[in-house]
Structure 1
Amino acid sequence: MSEPLWAEIVPARSHLPAFVLEAGDVLRVEDLAGQQAADVVLAPLDDPRDWLSCIYTQLLNRTTRITAGHVLYSKRARPLAAVVADTAGVHWFGGGCCSAETNAFRYGAAPGGSCRENLVLSLAGRIAGAMDLELDACASLFMNIAVAGDGGMEIVAPTSGPGDHVDLRAERDLLVAVSACPQERNPCNGFEPSAVGLSTWRY
């Protein structure tokens, strides 16, 4: 790839307004400092409520370990994006993202500062009634959840280092929202949330 068409930094703990990724273009999501989760929602531009389904993505790829060579699918099983590069190799597509409700349940925390909030705010300028979306799943890039043999799950520090990235090629015109995860009560960001780099490319 040559020079990006567009590049921006998602500030630590924050988000950018949702943006359009045209069919055939590639979105690079980059862990700038290392050990930083980036929560991503993709949705067809012509039907933004048919957003990314983690369940169908794993089911139709027949794996829980989504990486280069796999396709991300919508709630209606439509292909949204192909993973064309992945230098990290460890991500979470099991659904869920930090929210006011999960933070209160797990940590007794007051509302404020969550990926769900970031993603909904990101989409608010593009989707009418976004604040009421039943948004409880996203692609959690660089997120590392260890699953034990008995099925037990534990959030552990990401294995991604500075500059690790995932490249997603749009299979149709997409609306994209990204949250630089603000969670600091568990090791999903190495206890020190940092910024996420975004860039778009055309081969």
Structure 2
Amino acid sequence: MNIVSDMVVPARAPYSATLKKGQMMKIIDLESQQAVDALFYNAHDLSERYSVQDTLAAQATQGGKFYLETGSVLLSNEGNALVRIIADTCGFHDSCAGACSCESNSVRFGHETRFMHACRENFLTELSKYGLGKRDLVSNVNFFMNVPIRPNGELTVDDGVSKPGGYVELRAEMDVLVLISNCPQVNNPCNGFRPTPIRIIVSES
């Protein structure tokens, strides 16, 4: 494998990169229990982007699970494959709990958290680099995030299960723009209440 880029993304920070078809992105949870939010777009047509509905519906018809795991194919709103999960040490990843925002912080954790940094703001920072904005935000993937479903169907956020050095590796199935928010949330246990850095390695054969 040839390394295209290798960088550490600081705690709470955003990141973005364009993967060429066939390139791989390895996201490494350096210290454990760090949620990593991600968005995916067709690099040549940014109106085509990740669709959780299409992705989970396709998994269900193939006997797949509610969570994303090794072998999961992330589909676009056009039904095309964006990326495939080719390796994973965590075992499952969420795609339904969404990204934290200043608004949701206020509603869930109290008005005093209204101006705490959040993933939505990270995404908007990166989207602006590509001429995109709020209307282009869609449902995201939450790598390493533990979101169990209660018997009544309610989603809840629990302690992360990834270990130090745990990783998920993606392969681009088309040229794809990837946006990352290294989640800054400190009010629930998705980051163990302590956001930490991650490492992102992009490689190709």
TM-score, normalization by structure 1: 0.93
- Relative distance call for 1:115 and 1:4 in structure 2 (3 A) is same
Deviations 1:142-201 (A, max 9, x none): 010111222132210110011111111000001111111000000000000011111111
> Is the contact between residue 97 and residue 147 of structure 2 (CA under 8 Å) also seen in structure 1?
no
Aligned to 2:3: 4
Q: How does 1:139-158 map to 2 (within 5 A)?
A: 139-158=141-160
Aligned to 2:100: 98
Aligned partners of 1:188, 1:134: CA distance in 2, in Å?
A: 25
1:118 correspondence with 2:122: yes
Letter in 1 for 2:40: L
> Is the contact between residue 106 and residue 114 of structure 2 (CA under 8 Å) also seen in structure 1?
yes
Letter in 2 for 1:40: A
Note the C-alpha offset of 1:50. Answer: 1.8
Deviations 1:83-119 (A, max 9, x none): 1001111211115110122111111222341111101
1:28 correspondence with 2:30: no
1:75 correspondence with 2:77: yes
Aligned partners of 2:3, 2:22: CA distance in 1, in Å?
A: 14
Select which of 174, 177, 197 maps to 1:175.
177
Aligned Cα RMSD in Å?
A: 1.4
Task: Give the 4+ runs in structure 1 shifted more than 3 A.
Answer: none
Aligned partners of 2:104, 2:120: CA distance in 1, in Å?
A: 10
Aligned partners of 1:57, 1:95: CA distance in 2, in Å?
A: 15
TM-score, normalization by structure 2: 0.92
Report % sequence identity: 32
Aligned partners of 1:151, 1:75: CA distance in 2, in Å?
A: 25
Aligned partners of 1:54, 1:73: CA distance in 2, in Å?
A: 8
Aligned partners of 2:192, 2:116: CA distance in 1, in Å?
A: 20
Aligned partners of 2:54, 2:69: CA distance in 1, in Å?
A: 15
Q: Could you say what secondary structure the match of 2:56 adopts?
A: helix
